[in-house]
Amino acid sequence: GENVEQHPSTLSVQEGDSAVIKCTYSDSASNYFPWYKQELGKRPQLIIDIRSNVGEKKDQRIAVTLNKTAKHFSLHITETQPEDSAVYFCAARGRDDKIIFGKGTRLHILP
């Protein structure tokens, strides 16, 4: 089945700087890669997703890139703001339609 690895587990960046979170997946047939943001005590919320027929997608300060050959995908947040502090999860949907999550990255935005 699918296995998703996520790095780093914790990331601290100065407000205004960029943050990058990286994930790798194991199932070459995986076709859908969402990213979720979870604030303390809240549910995970989808912030951006990308499908395997696309290499890059951008939504304002957030972008995701996908390298199918290397089986890795990344989340980029530019001009970080205090409200970006949260836990971010990457995920991949494998050939069996299961959606498997990485272990999460705790992002701290420093003033």
Partner 1 sequence: NAGVMQNPRHLVRRRGQEARLRCSPMKGHSHVYWYRQLPEEGLKFMVYLQKENIIDESGMPKERFSAEFPKEGPSILRIQQVVRGDSAAYFCASSPLRQEAFSGANVLTFGAGSRLTVL
Rule CB under 8 A: choose which of 34, 64, 75, 109 binds partner 1. 34
Using the rule CB under 8 A, is 86 a contact of partner 1? no
d(CA 69, CA 79): 29
E-assigned strand segments in the chain? 4-7, 10-14, 19-25, 32-38, 45-51, 56-59, 62-67, 72-77, 86-93, 99-101, 105-110
In terms of CB distance, is 19 or 94 closer to partner 1? 94
Rule CB under 8 A: choose which of 63, 102, 107, 109 binds partner 1. 102
Near partner 1 by CB under 8 A, which window of 12-20, 62-70, 73-81, 95-103?
95-103
How many Cβ atoms from other residues are within 10 Å of residue 68's Cβ?
Answer: 14
DSSP calls for 83-101: GG-EEEEEEEE-TT--EEE
Using the rule CB under 8 A, is 111 a contact of partner 1? no
Using the rule CB under 8 A, is 100 a contact of partner 1? yes
Binding positions for partner 1, rule: CB under 8 A = 1, 31-32, 34, 36, 42-46, 49, 51, 53, 89, 91, 93, 96-104
